[in-house]
Amino acid sequence: MVEPLALKDHTWESRIFLKRIVVGFGILVVLTLFLVARFFYLQIVQHDVYATLSDKNRIQVQPLPPTRGLIYDRNGELLADNSPSFNLTITPERVDDIGGTLEHLNRILGLRDDEIEAFEKRKKRRRRPFESVPLLYRLTQEEIAIFSVDRHMMPGVEVEARLVRHYPRGELMVHAVGSVRRINEADARRIDPVAYAGTDHIGKIGVEKYYEPDLLGQVGYQQVEIDARGRVMKVMESTLPVPGKNLILHVDATLQQAAVDALGDRRGTVVAIEPETGGILAMVSKPGYDPNLFVTGIDHKTYASLRDSIDVPLFNRAIQGQYQPGSTIKPIIGLAGLVTGLITADYFIEDPGWFQLPGKERLYRDWNWRMSGAGGHGKVNLQKAIYRSCNVYFYTLSVKLGIDRIDDYLALFGLGVNTALDLPEAKNGLLPSREWKKENRGLPWYPGDTVNIGIGQGDMLVTPLQLATAVTVIANRGRWVAPRMLQSGSDLLNRSDATRMDSIELIPTHVWDYIIGSMEKVVHRGNQGFGENGTAWAHIGRDINYRMAGKSGTAQVVEIKQGEEYDEEILDERQRKHAWFVAFAPVDKPKIALAVLLENGGGGSEVAAPVARAILDHHLLGSVAPHVASVAGGEE
């Protein structure tokens, strides 16, 4: 049986087709609505967010580092400048493979391991995204040309021109001005990242450190449009940086040079102060070093040679060196005796060449004592004790005064404290007392301790700056002016942690006249017979045509045992006495006061006094007598 042929149901098929069209159209409408909604969300609701993200890829805000303030001496000579430096920098966000890039740069420029290590450290402490990181400083023209050939192969690597610190006088002014150095990890943790945006250096020592807030200036910014390779297409907006303030110091660069010449090749230091203002005219510490080595990074070998040198050139002897003052403090001890009434100008002693405490066996000897028993200054009053530097007189006087009064009077002249206004590394020295010895040694104060302090020996320590300051107070007859480097350019001078000293009052004029007159005889009393000339007369006082007040001193480095005589010839050079000389001039209207120290130099009058004379001649007369210059410079 054959089944009947089925015919197509066009109506049913049409309904199926229509349903499919409706469903498809519905899906299309839903998708379209979803797409429209998404467009609305992105373009309207999230417009600001995505516009910002787009701008971040296209627009950058770059810091504009300020120009660091300049530093001048009192005569307008430039001591700290800014010079252009072409630096090779890398912006990590623009480099796909930093390791490969460094390898490429190593092949064409020859990078040192320490340079790569320093770059990695700088990259880690980078403060802002898209901030370039220096790899090499001070590229030569040849290095720039070599890099330029392959520059297209290294996106994100650029040669940038920046101003970096430069010290035209190099080693001459390093211990007076200080220096800047690159910002390290410790600096990065404490500084304001906004203030130092785009800046790689910070003041680390001396004036550069103390006046950093003024010298730094204020950072500026520019908004730039960049292309896909990170190149700046145009500057859209900018705020210019504010340059740092320029500073003028009291320092006289020509006097500084005269002091360096006078010291010659010997280790030592000079601090010279203007009594009227307290301005530091010269501050020399020898040997020194070139601060320019540190500005863009010193290599390990060079730094190790400076750090490990037996002559410690990195050490600022003028403000950090702490030495026994020796006989240079005798005028202050004498002043204390007169003011307290324990002695008078007519008080005499007989000096046999030694002093002995009652009931004690030890002999405290005079500087001219000899093993033969010869020595002593005979009949001595205070004036002779100062100009002949008679130890026995001051042994006797120190016992009369006692350590408490000695401490009180030495403190009046700024010993034992840091009175400098703008030298952050200055040390306090040490003014020992009963309490100090009990606390630090666990021992009582003995009369013998007082005897030693009376001639500037024992535990007492001073810095050359402190001693120059004390001499300035004598030159000013008790009027106090704190030592300072700055003459003008900043409001930071009133340092909160610097000790303020009041002028010394209630000291009669005749006492100042007597003490200063005695110091004047140290230099000018001559041809009076054996044992009656000032200790410095034969060395600097014969042909001087201005009036100078001075005092020599020596400080023992090694102890000389009882019964032994000091013999320089048998001692190692570094075991010999330190030589001091302090002075001011002219006596009637002082224009300069100074302290000179030569390490292991021997006698203060023979060695340090000619250095002081050469410096004073230069400052007061504009030239140095040839024979004085040769002796001062160590040629004789």
The catalytic residues are: 327
Taking the C-alpha atoms of residue 540 and residue 631, their distance in angstroms, rounded to an integer, is: 10
The total of other beta-carbon atoms located within 10 Å of residue 443's CB is 9
Strand residue runs (E) in 303-380: 349-351, 354-355, 364-365, 378-380
**Residue 244 in tokens:** 């740092």
Q: Helix, strand, coil proportions of the chain in percent (round to 5)? A: 40, 20, 40
Taking the C-alpha atoms of residue 548 and residue 252, their distance in angstroms, rounded to an integer, is: 21
Q: Which residues of 131-142 are buried (b: 16+ CB within 10 A; e: fewer)?
A: bbbbbbbebeee
* Bridge partners, residue 82, by sequence: 165
> One-letter amino acid identity for 536?
A
Peptide bond into 243 cis (omega under 30): no
C-alpha closest to that of 391 among 377, 379, 401: 377
Peptide bond into 66 cis (omega under 30): no
Taking the C-alpha atoms of residue 183 and residue 198, their distance in angstroms, rounded to an integer, is: 11
The total of other beta-carbon atoms located within 10 Å of residue 620's CB is 15
Taking the C-alpha atoms of residue 291 and residue 196, their distance in angstroms, rounded to an integer, is: 22
CB-CB contact of 584 with 594 (8 Å) = yes
